[in-house]
């Protein structure tokens, strides 16, 4: 019987357990230069000491106007490699592997003067109307994803996650709600995402798996559902994805066509559907911070890895406490052993 504290391996990526810290923007590049600050290093390092198997560094943008805000992390110049390397090296000391989520916010770039997207459709009444990308600009965008991936590999990451979820640029192309183009990118909604996957893959060593984060369903009226996301994800798989990270929503104002579940584990059935259809490793995420619940996702083989977001913001030692409650304290650093039950008399 497989458990959340068991090791996991795909290609050359070896994890000491099945727990992932998912990407979570910190908006902490205070000089608006996309650079890593002390905050980022302490933030990720404390979760590494806290025993998590894989950290996926927050949404890191491939160009300045691809940022949600000007405080986002970036990988659009080689000068940004060193900061990411510092996070990676710090976490590696404690046996935690590190990935990075590379992204473009598209029409959700709040600080861009004129954001770009698949089509000129604003997110809501208060948002700027984006400019439709030309075909040559789309080709340049694919190349920018490739260059960001090259920099991430140079920084020493163990894996890369492409952000195809939460209503950002790749999602904007793959959804008929936000993509009204008449050209090849409108006829084939997964073309842009597939090109990004293939281009990023070229930068990865053969031993490095590629993760893609997908919104499995949309909540807007007439948005796409699970059948469609499984269909377009088949194209991403063919283009080179090794692991899917399954989330949902983000394409429009919440409540305009449904609501994300508020119950624990509400996205797990989507992760399970991806696992069953593609037979590749899948990360489940979303309200899984209850220890027994998180373990049950792995035990029931609904997913291969479990990501804990807000639970890990509240408690960097989530992994240590979870493992201790499951009567397994193998991840506790020796400096902290006296605080955990195996050692309490
Ligand atoms: C502060 C914060 C920042 C986030 N930033 C990102 C991000 O950069 N990229 C992303 O894909 N998801 C982001 N998310 C979503 C999380 O990765 C995760 O999917 C979500 O919080 C649900 O998991 P949870 O219930 O364990 O928190 C963010 C969530 C939070 C709370």
For residue 285, the ligand 1 atom closest to its alpha carbon is 23
pLDDT by residue (tens digit) across 274-303?
999 999 999 999 999 999 999 999 999 999
Tokens of 13: 């990526």
| Residue 121 buriedness (CB in 10 A; 0-12 / 13-18 / 19+) | middle
Gap between the Cα atoms of 247 and 110, Å rounded: 22
Angle between helices 191-203 and 135-154 (to 10 degrees): 30
pLDDT by residue (tens digit) across 109-125?
999 999 999 999 999 99
CATH of domain 8-343: 3.20.20.70
Which among 242, 193, 197 has a CA at the least distance from the CA of 215?
193
Residue with the nearest Cα to atom 22 of ligand 1?
286
Q: How far is the CA of 23 from the centre of ligand 1 (A)?
A: 6
164 lines ligand 1 (CB under 6 A): no
DSSP string covering 97-148, please? Answer: EEEEEEE--GGG-TT-SS-EESSS--SSTTSPPPEEPPHHHHHHHHHHHHHH
Angle between helices 318-325 and 291-299 (to 10 degrees): 70
Query: Is there a contact between 115 and 63 (Cβ–Cβ < 8 Å)?
Result: no
pLDDT by residue (tens digit) across 129-158?
999 999 999 999 999 999 999 999 999 999
For residue 311, the ligand 1 atom closest to its alpha carbon is 26
146 lines ligand 1 (CB under 6 A): no
81 lines ligand 1 (CB under 6 A): no
pLDDT surpasses 60 at 344: no
For residue 310, the ligand 1 atom closest to its alpha carbon is 27
Give percent above pLDDT 90 in the chain.
94
Domain boundaries, the chain: 8-343
Neighbours of 161 (CB within 10 A): 31
For residue 165, the ligand 1 atom closest to its alpha carbon is 11
267 lines ligand 1 (CB under 6 A): no
Residue with the nearest Cα to atom 26 of ligand 1?
309
């Amino acid at each position: 019987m497989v458990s959340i504290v068991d090791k996991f391996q795909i290609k050359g990526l070896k994890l000491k357990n099945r727990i992932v810290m998912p990407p979570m923007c910190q908006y902490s590049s205070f000089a608006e230069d996309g650079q890593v600050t002390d905050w980022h290093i302490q933030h990720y390092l404390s979760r590494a000491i806290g025993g998590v198997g894989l950290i996926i560094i927050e949404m890191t943008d491939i160009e300045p106007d691809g940022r949600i805000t000007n405080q986002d992390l970036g990988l659009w110049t080689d000068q940004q490699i060193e900061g990411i390397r510092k996070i990676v090296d710090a976490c590696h000391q404690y046996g935690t592997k590190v990935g990075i989520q590379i992204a473009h916010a598209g029409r959700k770039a709040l600080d861009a003067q004129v954001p770009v997207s698949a089509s000129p459709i604003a997110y809501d009444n208060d948002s700027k109307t984006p400019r439709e990308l030309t075909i040559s600009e789309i080709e340049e965008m694919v190349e920018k994803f490739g260059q960001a991936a090259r920099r991430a590999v140079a920084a020493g990451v163990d894996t890369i996650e492409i952000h195809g979820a939460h209503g950002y640029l790749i999602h904007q192309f793959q959804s008929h709600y936000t993509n009204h183009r008449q050209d090849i990118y409108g006829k084939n909604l997964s073309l842009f995402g597939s090109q990004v996957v293939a281009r990023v893959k070229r930068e990865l060593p053969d031993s490095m798996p590629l993760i893609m984060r997908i919104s499995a369903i949309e909540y807007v009226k007439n948005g796409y559902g699970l059948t469609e996301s499984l269909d377009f994800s088949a194209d991403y798989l063919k283009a080179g994805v090794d692991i899917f990270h399954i989330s949902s929503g983000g394409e429009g104002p919440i409540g305009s066509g449904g609501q994300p579940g508020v119950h624990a584990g509400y996205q797990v059935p989507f992760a399970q559907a991806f696992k069953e259809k593609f037979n590749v490793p899948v990360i489940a995420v979303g309200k899984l911070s209850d220890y027994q619940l998180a373990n049950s996702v792995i035990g029931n083989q609904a997913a291969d890895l479990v990501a804990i977001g807000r639970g890990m913001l509240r408690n960097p030692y989530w992994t240590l406490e979870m493992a201790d409650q499951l009567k397994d304290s193998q991840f506790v650093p020796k400096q902290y052993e006296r605080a955990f039950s195996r050692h309490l008399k």
